[in-house]
Amino acid sequence: MINTGAKRQVNVSAALDKYPNKNRLNLSPYLYIGPHLILFGIFFLFPTLYGIYISFTNWDLIGEPEFVGMANYTEILFNKDSTFYEQLRIGLGNTFKFVLYTVPACIIVPLLLAAALNTKPKGMTFFQALFYMPTLFSVSAVMIVFSMLFSVSFGPINHYLNVDTNWLSNQPYAWITLVIVTVWWTIGANMIIYQAALNGIPKDLYEAASIDGANGVQKFFRITLPSIRAQLLYTVVITTIAQFNVYGQPLMLTKGGPTSSTTVLLMYIQENAFGSGISIAGIGAAMAVVLGLCIMVVSAIQFFFLRQRD
């Protein structure tokens, strides 16, 4: 005679083995993500929170920070007689100018290059390497090379153009130089992203459009751009954030001149917090927080409008 109770117990055990206990703690995901979270906390989260705290203090980087509340923000945002108010106004204005001048070019130029390379021209691999290689160079190396190229006395730019232009010390040439150098230096990364996106577009869409009589321009705006809108959104936001954090180009190429016309906010932040003389870390941190808020607002606006467009 078969023991029904024992048989039912065996069936229950087999079912439990087949479907593991959902309440059982699985540590594997935490082990994988743990090192990243630790490094993120040490090198990003903690410095960010500590910087926000410092923006509410009066600190010279040596003694104990003295809490002063909103005094630093009042000084840089509302005290028109203050040097720091003027620094914030000039620095933030020049930073916005740099973003406005460079972001469209850093999106359009690599997109056109990627579209051209997507036609598989002869020597495509060579041109891919040629356009991407500048992104591997450090900012100091790039700025030293271009400062020599645009030199008034011995620069080849003036020699071959047969002009006597002071590119780095006069406007609008200083801005033109900064834009050219930045675009040349940074377009490679976006170009690779666009190339990968373009390769993922089904060829059937272009064939169907050709049968319907669409030309190249219509295919680009009706098929290509809508198909890579996710990559466009990503590159627009990331490029904008990167250009808001501009520092090395104006510091090493134009020295912030002429007459502070290319001095960006990060240069004033560095000068106040770590420059020569007495450090005013609280003022520098407050300016950094304002810059961070500007980046967040602009990024949110971009997400809103591009998502709405999608």
By percentage, how much of the chain surpasses pLDDT 90?
64
By percentage, how much of the chain surpasses pLDDT 70?
91
pLDDT at 300 over 60: yes
* Tokens encoding 302: 């971009």
Kindly report, residue by residue over 69-85, the tens digit of the pLDDT.
999 999 999 999 999 99
Q: Which residue has better confidence, 3 or 120?
A: 120
* Tokens encoding 197: 């996106």
Kindly report, residue by residue over 97-155, the tens digit of the pLDDT.
999 999 999 999 999 999 999 888 888 899 999 999 999 999 999 999 999 999 988 88
pLDDT at 15 over 70: no
Question: Please, is 121 exposed, middle or buried when counting C-beta atoms within 10 Å of its C-beta (0-12, 13-18, 19+)?
Answer: exposed
pLDDT at 197 over 60: yes
d(CA 84, CA 35): 40
* Tokens encoding 100: 């406005």
Q: What is the pLDDT of residue 304?
A: 84
d(CA 52, CA 64): 16
pLDDT at 41 over 70: yes
Calculate the average pLDDT of the chain.
Answer: 88
pLDDT at 275 over 90: no
d(CA 220, CA 238): 23
Whole-model pTM?
Answer: 0.86
Amino acid type, 174: A
Q: For the chain, which domains are there?
A: 4-54 (no CATH), 71-309 (1.10.3720.10)
